């Protein structure tokens, strides 16, 4: 059964160029609903995304959004503690949740005869979760262990999860701390703190429900009304974009990691929000610079000059801002100063010279392929639809996003490099082995 279920999970893929059809509406309590019907395989995903992430937390109370990713599996008024995963697996399903700086997402994927079960479980999680001291204490230890394994004891973990980068790029907004938060904040948090967070953000008018896969729309709408329509609307969730002061002079910082032996040079820039067309152009620039072994910087530093073991560039897109990072792991004793100067020359080249038509077409081809792959299967589609609505501001972005990439010109790619990747906007981080700190 499990093998069969996994094989059909990726069936019903959206073909390249094919419009993804969906219906959407909003219940009187403010819950937004998106329905994507695909009867090509007997599988269904129900997902609920809440518009709350780590950036919505307060100083001294970080990590709450990620903590709830765990806490809300503790149980509800109708689902006993420890039973959530048993119910899902007993019905041939799978489930998970994830948190970012901007939203938290929960979902189940079942054989399609379990549509009602998925809707009931998610509605009960929203309507009447159990938030008690036993669950809070248990999940505190779970989250602390996750932080130890993924961040504190993982090579380059503090860089990957933003703890070694975000505080140097952001000074005012909640983007300045990592999604997972701090031990101290979680240890000091009281039960009432978590109850208040739940009552503030886990309300239908701060959420979107997505149902994708093999179902009947009329039946789904009746079930959604039955289970979600009775949940009272919460207080309006007021979100304010905290404006950061522009970075006008270079910032330099040193971070240490006891889990590494090879240092990392990271050059970072603050970039615009994920809705900006510039964010798409920066993504294309990343593909040009380090997107695979044939990319311009990989060939130069890894293959030809043998100065680096690895090099990467990516634009981390978020709701209010982004971070563009260029990272390089030096080969042997190649000094950071040398790499930094050479990389600056490479950046200045893309600021002044158009990339070739051949390279431009290669970037587009790669984006088109990855775009189609990322929308394959109802589980991925449900997630993408929720993201498009909540973070993109338009559910139909799922159909228009590729067109945005295709509308970006070589001049646009050059212009974003000129606009955002300047020397006086750099945040340069020397990410070093802990032994270097002792030697210093």
**Which string of DSSP letters, residue by residue, matches 122-150?**
HHHHHHSB---HHHHHHHHHHHHHHHIII
* Residue 293 DSSP SS3: coil
Reported as a single tens digit per residue, the pLDDT across 65-108 is 999 999 999 999 999 999 999 999 999 999 999 999 999 999 99
Choice between 414 and 440, residue whose per-residue pLDDT is larger: 414
Reported as a single tens digit per residue, the pLDDT across 96-129 is 999 999 999 999 999 999 999 999 999 999 999 9
**Which string of DSSP letters, residue by residue, matches 9-34?**
HT-SPPPTT-----EEEE-TTS-EEE
Q: Report how far residue 350's alpha carbon sits from residue 195's, in angstroms, rounded to the nearest whole number.
A: 50
**Which string of DSSP letters, residue by residue, matches 104-121?**
EEEEEEEEGGGHHHHHHH
Q: Report how far residue 310's alpha carbon sits from residue 331's, in angstroms, rounded to the nearest whole number.
A: 9
Q: Which residue pairs from 188-195 have beta carbons closer than 8 angstroms and sit at least 24 positions apart in sequence?
A: 188/60, 189/61, 189/64, 189/136, 189/140, 191/131, 191/132, 191/133, 191/136, 193/61, 193/64, 194/64, 194/67, 194/68, 194/71, 194/131, 194/136, 195/131
In the chain, the N- to C-terminal Cα span, in Å, equals 58
pLDDT given at position 436: 86
The arithmetic mean of pLDDT across residues 14-35, rounded, is 86
pLDDT given at position 183: 86
What is the side-by-side order of every strand in the sheet holding 251-257? 251-257, 427-433, 264-271, 322-330, 308-317
The arithmetic mean of pLDDT across residues 14-22, rounded, is 69
pLDDT given at position 427: 98
Q: Report how far residue 203's alpha carbon sits from residue 226's, in angstroms, rounded to the nearest whole number.
A: 17
Exposure of 227 by Cβ count < 10 A (0-12 exposed, 13-18 middle, 19+ buried)?
Answer: buried
pLDDT given at position 375: 82
pTM (whole model) above 0.85? yes
Percent of the chain at pLDDT exceeding 90: 89
Residue with tokens 């072994």: 293
Chain-wide mean pLDDT for the chain? Answer: 93
User: Could you tell me the domains of the chain?
Assistant: 23-229 (3.30.830.10), 251-436 (3.30.830.10)
Reported as a single tens digit per residue, the pLDDT across 49-59 is 999 999 999 99
């Amino acid at each position: 059964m499990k093998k069969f279920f996994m094989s059909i999970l990726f069936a019903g893929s959206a073909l390249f160029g094919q419009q993804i059809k969906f219906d959407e509406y909003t219940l009187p309590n403010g819950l937004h609903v998106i329905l994507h019907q695909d009867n090509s395989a007997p599988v269904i995903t129900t997902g609920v995304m809440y518009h709350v992430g780590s950036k919505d937390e307060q100083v001294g109370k970080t990590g709450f959004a990620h903590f709830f990713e765990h806490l809300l599996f503790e149980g509800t008024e109708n689902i006993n503690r420890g039973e959530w995963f048993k119910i899902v697996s007993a019905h041939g399903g799978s489930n998970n949740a994830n948190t970012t700086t901007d939203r938290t997402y929960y979902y189940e994927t079942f054989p399609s005869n379990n549509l009602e079960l998925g809707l009931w479980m998610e509605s009960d999680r929203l309507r009447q979760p159990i938030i008690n001291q036993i669950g809070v204490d248990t999940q505190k230890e779970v989250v602390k262990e996750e932080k130890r394994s993924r961040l504190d004891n993982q090579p380059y973990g503090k860089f990957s999860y933003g703890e070694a980068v975000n505080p140097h790029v952001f000074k005012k907004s909640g983007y300045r701390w990592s999604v997972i938060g701090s031990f101290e904040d979680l240890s000091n948090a009281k039960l009432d703190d978590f109850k208040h967070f739940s009552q503030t953000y886990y309300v239908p008018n701060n959420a979107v429900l997505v149902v994708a896969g093999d179902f009947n729309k009329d039946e789904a709408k009746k079930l959604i009304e039955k289970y979600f329509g009775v949940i009272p609307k919460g207080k309006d969730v007021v979100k304010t974009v905290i404006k950061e002061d522009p970075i006008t002079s270079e910032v330099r910082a040193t971070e240490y990691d006891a889990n590494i032996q090879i240092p990392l040079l990271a050059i970072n820039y603050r970039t615009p929000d994920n809705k900006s067309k510039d964010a798409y152009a920066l993504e294309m620039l990343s593909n040009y610079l380090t997107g695979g072994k044939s990319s311009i910087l990989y060939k130069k530093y890894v293959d030809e000059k043998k100065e680096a073991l690895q090099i990467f560039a990516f634009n981390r897109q978020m709701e209010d801002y982004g971070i563009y990072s260029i990272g390089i792991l030096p080969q042997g004793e190649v000094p950071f100063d040398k790499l930094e100067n050479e990389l600056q020359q490479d950046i200045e080249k893309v600021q002044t010279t158009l990339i070739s038509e051949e390279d431009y077409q290669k970037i587009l081809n790669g984006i088109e392929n990855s775009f189609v792959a990322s929308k394959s299967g109802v589980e991925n589609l449900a997630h993408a639809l929720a993201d498009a609505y909540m973070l993109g501001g338009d559910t139909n972005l799922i159909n228009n996003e590729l067109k945005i990439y295709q509308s970006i010109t070589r001049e646009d790619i050059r212009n974003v490099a000129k606009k955002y990747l300047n020397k006086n906007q750099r945040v340069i981080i020397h990410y070093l082995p802990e032994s270097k700190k002792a030697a210093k």
